[in-house]
């Protein structure tokens, strides 16, 4: 039962899960609080063209993914700031469709990398290396530092943006920084769960624990712990069942979210 824990590549996957749980868990609470779940999913999916470029041209995948994901986050943030009526959702959808279309064209017509599309879209925790862990560690450290330094600003603008502006809290640059950190966290999760399943780490754990607590700090700690537990258990199940690790973690996270309302009375008591 515990044999997989002795395997070197499994241990590397466990280390990656721990790092991702911190970064994605903390930022996940801000994503849910600020209503950025669709943006978080989209920025990961929009990194697909960067992954294709990196694979085709032979440079580091995180560089290509963050270049495209960062540009995506910056463009959505700037457009939303200029046109608040449109909001994040409509502009995110527009930019996402464009990025995915570009990725499909690059993968099929330019680099002919169709055989690698599955790994780019769905990732694998069993194939992570040192560079992936460095990116995840940087994302985790920045998430902790930003939460400590900018958490109060994100909190007040998330609950009541007009009131925050009325008392002089300017949220434009802090919102852009939050979008950039979400993009970095999404990129750090790509090697583990791929471009299409990043929400399994960025959104679902935070949405689940939100049902159990009303205190921000408790919510954040619970989200980090739940993301780590779901990641470890999902990785173990993927090895035991010979299933894709990213998809297994996503299914497990979805199942926990589905039963979370039933456990709410227990958590409240």
Interior CA angle at 191 toward 54 and 199, to 5°?
A: 115
* Percent of residues, the chain, with pLDDT higher than 90: 34
What local confidence, expressed as pLDDT, does residue 225 receive? 97
* pLDDT range class, residue 190, cuts 50, 70, 90: confident
Give pLDDT, residue 269: 47
pLDDT band at 167 (very low <50, low <70, confident <90, very high): low
Domains and CATH numbers, the chain: 3-262 (1.10.3470.10)
Mean pLDDT of the chain: 83
Whether the CB-CB separation of 259 and 204 falls below 8 Å is answered with no
How confident is residue 251, by pLDDT bands cut at 50, 70 and 90?
very high
- Greater confidence, 260 or 72? 260
pLDDT at 133 over 80: yes
Read off the pLDDT of each residue in 185-208 and give the average, rounded to a whole number. Answer: 89
User: Which pTM was predicted?
Assistant: 0.85
User: Which has more confidence, 111 or 189?
Assistant: 189
Q: In this predicted structure, which of 15-24, 99-108, 176-185, 217-226 has the lowest mean pLDDT?
A: 99-108
Reported confidence tier of residue 191, pLDDT bands at 50, 70, 90: confident
List % helix, strand, coil for the chain (3-state, nearest 5): 85, 0, 15
Of 66-75, 153-162, 177-186, which has the strongest mean pLDDT?
177-186
Q: Phi and psi dihedrals of 60, rounded to 5? A: -60, 130
Residue 135 CA, chain-centre distance (Å), reads: 13
- The mean-pLDDT minimum among 37-41, 80-84, 214-218, 249-253 falls in 80-84
């Amino acid at each position: 039962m515990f044999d997989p824990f002795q395997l070197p590549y499994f241990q590397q996957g466990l280390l990656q899960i721990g790092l991702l749980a911190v970064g994605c868990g903390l930022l996940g609470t801000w994503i849910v609080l600020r209503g950025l779940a669709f943006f978080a999913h989209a920025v990961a999916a929009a990194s697909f063209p960067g992954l294709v470029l990196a694979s085709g041209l032979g440079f580091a995948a995180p560089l290509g993914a963050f270049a495209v994901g960062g540009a995506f986050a910056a463009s959505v943030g700037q457009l939303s700031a200029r046109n608040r009526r449109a909001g994040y959702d409509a502009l995110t959808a527009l930019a996402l469709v464009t990025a995915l279309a570009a990725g499909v064209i690059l993968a099929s017509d330019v680099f002919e990398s169709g055989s690698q599309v599955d790994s780019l879209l769905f990732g694998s925790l069993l194939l992570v290396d040192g560079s992936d862990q460095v990116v995840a560690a940087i994302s985790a450290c920045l998430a902790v530092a930003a939460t400590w330094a900018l958490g109060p600003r994100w909190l007040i603008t998330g609950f009541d943006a007009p009131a925050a502006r009325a008392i002089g809290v300017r949220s434009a640059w802090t919102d852009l920084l939050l979008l950039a950190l979400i993009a970095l966290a999404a990129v750090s999760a790509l090697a583990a769960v791929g471009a299409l399943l990043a929400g399994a780490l960025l959104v679902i754990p935070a949405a689940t624990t939100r049902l159990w607590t009303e205190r921000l700090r408790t919510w954040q700690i619970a989200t980090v712990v739940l993301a780590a537990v779901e990641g470890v258990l999902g990785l173990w199940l993927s090895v035991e069942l010979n299933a894709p690790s990213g998809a297994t973690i996503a299914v497990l996270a979805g199942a926990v979210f589905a039963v979370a309302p039933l456990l709410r009375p227990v958590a409240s008591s």
